[in-house]
Structure 1
Amino acid sequence: MEITKRILAEAWQRTVAGHDLLQGVGLPPVALSDDELEECAERAEEAEDDGLCLLLDENGTVRGHHGPYREVFATRDLEQALYLIAEAAVRQRGGSPEEVADALERIDPVWGRRFRNGGLDDTGTVEACGRDPLEGLAWIARSWREQDPYTTLAFFRAAPGRTVDAERLALLYGADPEQVAAGTRLKDLQAVDGGRAHWDRQWKSCCFGQAGGWTFLLHHDTPPGAFADKGAYAALGIKESVWLTATAAKAIYTLDYIRDGRRVDDDWGALELIWYERGRAPYLRGGELDFLNRAIRRAELDHPQLTNTFELYFHALEESLGLRVPRRDFVEGEVRAAYWAEKDH
């Protein structure tokens, strides 16, 4: 059945009539063109309303928008559209993700399961995490907002059965060959001149290693000439890379996920971490990054004690992609480290 504006309005009226928790909740504004959507978004902005605006295509696709440019879902399934509208309405009333899940469950048990799973269906059972999230990747999230220990957290993974060589990767970036060959550790750099020398040069250093099936390389500034040997870089066999980059002075924190040489982003462009708000899926529902939406929802429900959204987001990255940074190695200074090579190397 092709969705029309009338069909959508009538279906929403029936939905509201059948559930006390939705009484008084109107259908979000429905636009039939990009111009109408922009007008709708402008009115919402003036009213300081961050609710949904709907764009209904000629082919019956319902597109949910926050603002004129940020599409958060697209569906031709009427039941799915009704669920997404109800989810947004219940969430906008406030409350924790658990409270939103309970409210949706009272409306429809299927909707409650769907919200808890974080996807667009209620299939599959997700086991609770059951461990301390700050022992994984999330331990680094809070300090990373202030560019500590490094501005860029980069992760690289090869095809199954292969490993990206951490030393070779660091050398291609420009790490000092002598320090790499000597097995220099972070504590070695910090020990020079009581740590004062490293304080002055830490912006020209990197740390590297392997964890969770990924090779990590953490650094601030990348030296000129990095990746100059494209053949050697290709020989590493990298199939996936994840880049988390912070520009604290501008409050810009971005995610870049590259798979098989292609950026995974649903054509959204820059993916900023500050888009994520607790209880709201940050990426296109049903899109290429929906696996991360699901992982974030589970992180919210499994760890209500975490109030820092960056910690929740990083834990979701660990759960969905396996990213890790060894906390003990950093705390004890055992992680491999080097300065960028001087020009005469």
Structure 2
Amino acid sequence: MEITKRALAEAWQRTAAGQSLLHGVGLPPVALSDDELETCAERLEEAGEDGLCLLLDEGGTVRGHHGPYREVFATRDLEQALYLIAEAAVCRRVGSPEEAADALGRIDPAWGRRFRSGGLDDTETVEACGSDPLEGLAWIARTWREQAPYTNLVFYRAAPGRTVDAERLALLYGADPEQVAAGTRLKDLQAVDGGRAHWDRQGESCCFGQAGGWTFLLYHDTPPGAFADKEAYAALGIEESVRLSATSAKAIYTFDYVRDGRRVDDEWGVLELIWYERGLAPYLRGGELDFLNRAVRRAELDHPEVTNTFELYFHALEESLGLRLPRRDFTEGEVRVAYWARKQG
């Protein structure tokens, strides 16, 4: 059945009727054009609300929007649209993802299961995470927000059975060949002059290594001439890369995932992590990054003791993509480090 504005309104009225949890929750504003959507979004903004607006196109697709430009879901399934509207309403009324899961489960047990899985249906098996988030990738999340130890955390992965060579990668970025060849580690640089010299030059350094099937390279800014040898870079066999970038002075934190030469982003462009709110999926539901939506939801529900959203997000990156950084190597100074090579003349 094609979704119409009337059918959507009547279905929501039936859904909300008799549900105390949805008492007083009306259907979000429904726009039939981009201009109407922009007007709806402006009215919500003027009222100091960050609610959901719906755009119903001629083909009967319901598109959920936060603001006029950020589409958060698109569906031609009426039941799915009702669930997503209810999910948004409940999440803004309760205090935690666990409470939201319980509330949606009281409305419909299938909705509770769906929320817990983080997906768009309730068919997925949900297994609790048995690991400590702060022993994987999330341990670095808080200091990274202040650009410590580095502004950019970049991960590279090749095809199955191959590994991106960490030393070659660092050299192509511009690392000092002598320090790379010598196997210089963080503790070696910290031992010189009580570490003061390294503190002064940390912005000119990078660290690199391998963990969880990925090769990582951490740095502040790349020097001029990085990647000058395009053929050598292509020979590394990189098929996937993930870049996390922090600009603490502007409170801008970005996630950029590239696979097989194209950005995975549902045409949103480089994604700002500042959009992520606990209990709300950060990316387009059912889109290319829905696997990360599901991982974020599981991180929230499995680790209620973790209240920092960046730690939850980083744990979701570990669970969904396998990203890791060796905490002990950083703590004990064993991680490989090199300064950028100085230009001669």
| TM-score in same-fold range (> 0.5) | yes
Q: TM-score, normalised by structure 1?
A: 0.99
- Kindly indicate whether residue 217 of structure 2 is the aligned counterpart of residue 217 of structure 1: yes
Distance 2:73 2:189 in 1: 48
Amino acid at match of 2:176: D
Q: In the alignment, what sits opposite 2:131?
A: 131
Q: In the alignment, what sits opposite 1:81?
A: 81
Amino acid at match of 2:93: R
Q: In the alignment, what sits opposite 1:171?
A: 171
How many residues align structurally?
345
86-95 or 57-66, which moves further after superposition?
Answer: 86-95
* Residues 1-345 of structure 1: pairs in structure 2 closer than 5 A: 1-344=1-344
Q: Which residues of structure 1 form unaligned runs of 5+?
A: none
Distance 2:132 2:39 in 1: 46
Please state how far the C-alpha of 1:20 moved relative to its aligned partner.
2.7
- String of CA shifts for 1:80-124, please: whole Å, max 9, x gaps: 000000001111113100000000000000000000000111112
Amino acid at match of 2:24: G
Distance 2:207 2:142 in 1: 19
Q: What is the SS of the residue equivalent to 1:323? A: coil
Distance 1:218 1:20 in 2: 51
Q: What is the SS of the residue equivalent to 1:139? A: helix
- String of CA shifts for 1:47-68, please: whole Å, max 9, x gaps: 1111100000000000000111
Amino acid at match of 2:296: I
Distance 2:18 2:8 in 1: 16
Amino acid at match of 2:32: L
Distance 1:127 1:343 in 2: 53
Distance 1:41 1:103 in 2: 27
Q: What is the SS of the residue equivalent to 1:306? A: coil
Please state how far the C-alpha of 1:18 moved relative to its aligned partner.
4.4
- String of CA shifts for 1:253-310, please: whole Å, max 9, x gaps: 0000000000000001120011100000000000000000000000000000111110
Amino acid at match of 2:128: A
Distance 2:27 2:219 in 1: 48
Q: What is the SS of the residue equivalent to 1:245? A: strand
Amino acid at match of 2:57: D
Q: Which runs of 4+ in 1 moved over 3 A?
A: none
Distance 2:160 2:196 in 1: 42
Amino acid at match of 2:72: V
Q: TM-score, normalised by structure 2?
A: 0.99
Measured on the aligned residues, the alpha-carbon RMSD in Å equals 0.9
Q: What is the SS of the residue equivalent to 2:10? A: helix
Distance 2:122 2:341 in 1: 53
Distance 1:92 1:265 in 2: 26
Distance 2:217 2:238 in 1: 13
Amino acid at match of 2:339: Y
Q: What is the SS of the residue equivalent to 1:95? A: coil
Q: What is the SS of the residue equivalent to 2:191? A: helix
Distance 1:124 1:286 in 2: 14
269-278 or 207-216, which moves further after superposition?
Answer: 269-278
Percent of counterpart pairs with the same letter? Answer: 87
Q: Which residues of structure 2 form unaligned runs of 5+?
A: none
- String of CA shifts for 1:143-201, please: whole Å, max 9, x gaps: 00000000000000000000000000000000000000000001111111111100110
Amino acid at match of 1:103: A
Amino acid at match of 1:302: D
Amino acid at match of 1:114: R
Distance 1:224 1:24 in 2: 59
Amino acid at match of 1:311: E
Q: What is the SS of the residue equivalent to 1:160? A: coil
Q: What is the SS of the residue equivalent to 2:317? A: helix
Amino acid at match of 1:179: Q
